Chain A
Amino acid sequence: MEDRNVGATVSLPARVLWRLPLPYALSRQVGRKLFLFLLTVQGLGAFALITIGVMVTKGRASRRVIWPLVFHEVSRAGLRLLPMFLFIAAALGLLVIGQSVSWLTRVGAINYLGTIMVIVVVRELGPLVTALLVLARIGTANVVELGTSRAMGEVEALEALGIDPVHYLVVPRVIGLALGVFSLTVYLILGALISGYLWAFIQDVALRPADYLRQLAGALRGLDFALLALKTLAFGFIIAVVTCYHGLAQPLRLEEVPHATVRAVAQSVIGCVLVDALFIIIYLSS
């Protein structure tokens, strides 16, 4: 059936090319990539489960060492990024409002401004932009730090001292990144909603703050808050696990650290987008 359709719509040379067998080298390359992909998924899954296991079994162990590390990571992946996120929030508000106000005014649908802000910023752009920025600023640093530590033999030193490297190096990063992405998303959304109204005000849109707030409240559902929290925590967890896995879970030489960083960024983005797609399905089916 598929061949007939192709034959009916495609020119003769293209039809000949289509019927050619897949080159051996290409099929081998595709197979190799697929095999490596499955191995990576297996490795990441195992690493995530080990990390969760350590978080559960060693929740209160060595807390005078681990908790200061957690606070440090929360500060690094959250507090210190706040100025940048306030700037991004202002830009995001301008981006969404600037594009939508003129069109909504034309069709007389300015009452949907708050709804658009909720759909675009609260449900989608806010969490995803936050995750990507945290990945760029902190996730890449994680791979470089841990990869260098691994290459310099620091992981073996921890093992020799009876210190679990996952407990000491990974758990604080997972908690820090999950809380950091969650907090920054909240700040980014609040900043974008406020700046959005300010940009609308500058463009002389006849919308009172109370009406804007009413629109926002009307568009928000209880599920939004729960899913926003879950989604952002999941993004932080994915970024932490993927970057720590590539920095730590396999023997590295110093010259391999840049490649590990590139792989970690690509896989983190894919992981976050897949989780985002899952949450869209939940939104649509609820």
Chain B
Amino acid sequence: MTTRILLIDDEIEFVTTLAERLEIRGFSSTTAEDGESGLALIRKQPFDVVILDLLMPGMNGLEALKQIRQISPNLPVILLTGHGSTREGMEGMRLGAVDYLMKPLAIEDLMEKLQEAVAP
């Protein structure tokens, strides 16, 4: 079965290009440009994993993560951070994210994290 990924990031150019790369690798990708629309999609349709940016205008990634945990407690979330330090990512894992990656991404690292996140 195709893994369904939701990508939430306000950098549209980034998220649509990454989605295209994931599609090439056989994933099904849906994008959202802010926390609110990402949450609306999670309420409406099933996903296997969420890739969520931490720093977004309006609702930030950590706030979105808390709400995802309430809507769908078992949905794996991988965080993306543009911060130079790991502090924000660690904070996200404390709040229930399965892992985090720092931008710019190495696609091989993301593939590894995705496989771990959806492993039974």
Are both chains from one complex? Answer: no
Binding site for B on A (CB under 8 A): none
Residues of B near any A CB (own CB < 8 A): none
